[in-house]
Amino acid sequence: MMSSKSTTNKTGCSRSSSARSRQGARIAAQTPIDAKLHVDFEQSEQQFDYSSSVNASNAVSDVPSSTVSSYLQKMQRGSLVQPFGCLIAIHEQDFRVLAYSENAPEMLDLAPHAVPSMEQQEILSFGIDVRTLFRPSGAAALHKAANFGEVNMLNPILLHSKTSGKPFYAILHRIDVGLVIDLEPVNPSDVPVTAAGALKSYKLAAKAISRLQSLSSGNISLLCDVLVREVKDLTGYDRIMVYKFHDDDHGEVIAECRRPDLEPYLGLHYPATDIPQASRFLFMKNRVRMICDCLARPVKVMQDEALAQPLSLAGSTLRSPMGVMHNIWQTWGPLHHL
């Protein structure tokens, strides 16, 4: 005889499995549409009519699997980063440089290749030991991180360029071929962060969390309303929104806190293609995503020809939005997104 408890558990598991199946079916149906829209954008010249392209893509029933595969590859391995920082990828065992963004030499005050009249200047090229580019304290920190199991627990790591002394925050993560180092410049006046400043930031965050925890359970609408206000106070952004995905994957703005002079978006609905399935997967992988300047030209990542495929940028904080997503961010108005 089966107990009522085990019956309940079995029913719950069945519902969960059914929900996952429905979600998987929606993703499988939506991804080819996202891929077609991306291809249309890449093939367009100067003008791209997003609304018309969405309607046309929704009407397409047969998108080649090769088109979908190419699209998914480009979303994660697009070889482009945002220019507010620079990227270096290294071999984890010996710290040899495997790839770097084109702006890395200039940002780190390094020579991009050997120059006869600049023998004393550090050079950034494939195969060099990345630790030689930074001051000893930074080199030691990188060595420690490479031998640490959960490298993300050490982020950010403060490094100083060996050539210029410029400070950078390094955000590290592992990929299939080694370690990716995202380098973001730091204002010298902010280094080191004082204990008082760190404590102030902690208190602000703790206060916001306390307010959220004090809310009565079950009232999602109230939770979202308080959430947008608290995040706006913490970040200073012009507009904070909570975006809900419906069963057909289209989005609705269900909470908003904005600057008074901005047009309200609360209650507006947007097509599922506004946030492609591949982007949603990456959002779940990296819970915080920052677009520093929607109008900035992305920077190419160069890599050693020995690598079998383009570098995975799925976990990079600098990964540039690709194709039509870049266009969508721009049409939303603000230059910066978090």
Residue 17: pLDDT above 80?
no
Q: Which of 208, 132, 146, 218 is nearest to 180 (CA)?
A: 146
Segment 22-34, tens digit of pLDDT? 777 877 888 888 7
Specify the pLDDT at position 81: 95
Higher per-residue confidence, 36 vs 309: 309
Q: Which residue has the higher pLDDT, 40 or 316?
A: 316
Q: Is 170 helix (H, G, I), strand (E, B) or coil?
A: strand
Give the side-chain half-sphere CA count within 13 A for 313. 32
Q: Which residues pair with 161 in a beta bridge?
A: 134
Residue with token string 């249309």: 40
Sorting pLDDT into bands at 50, 70 and 90, what band is 168? very high
**CATH numeric code, 81-190:** 3.30.450.20
Provide φ and ψ at 117, rounded to 5°: -85, 5
Chain segment 235-244, per-residue pLDDT in tens: 899 999 999 9
pLDDT of residue 333 exceeding 80? no
In this predicted structure, the answer to whether residue 329 has a pLDDT above a threshold of 70 is no
User: Could you name the CATH architecture of 193-295+319-331?
Assistant: 2-Layer Sandwich (3.30)
pLDDT score of 311 more than 90: yes
Residue 80 confidence (pLDDT) above 70: yes
Q: What angle do CA 21, 27, 30 make, to 5 degrees?
A: 140
Q: Quick one: pLDDT at residue 1? A: 41
Domain ranges of the chain: 4-76, 81-190, 193-295+319-331
pTM of this prediction?
0.80
| Fold match, 81-190 / 193-295+319-331 | yes
What average pLDDT is seen over the chain? 83
Question: For 138-152, what is each residue's pLDDT tens digit?
Answer: 999 999 999 988 898
276 neighbors 53 (Cβ within 8 angstroms): no
Write the Ramachandran bin of 178: left for phi over 0, alpha for psi from -120 to 50, otherwise beta.
left
CA distances (Å), origin 274, targets 92, 182, 187, 194? 37, 27, 35, 41
Q: Count of residues for the chain?
A: 338
pLDDT tens, residue by residue, 117-138? 555 557 899 999 999 999 999 9
The identity of residue 290, as a single letter, is M
The string of DSSP codes covering 51-87 is HHHHHHHHH-----HHHHHHHHHHHHS--EE-TTSEE
Other Cβ atoms closer than 10 A to 219? 11
Dihedral angle of Cα 27, 12, 223, 328, to the nearest 10 degrees: 0
Residue 2: the pLDDT is 44
Confidence label for 198 from pLDDT (cuts 50, 70 and 90)? low
Q: Is 234 left (phi over 0), alpha (psi -120 to 50) or beta?
A: alpha
Q: What percent of the chain has pLDDT over 70?
A: 80
Q: What is the mean pLDDT of residues 237-258?
A: 92
CA gyration radius for the chain?
23
Q: Is 336 helix (H, G, I), strand (E, B) or coil?
A: coil
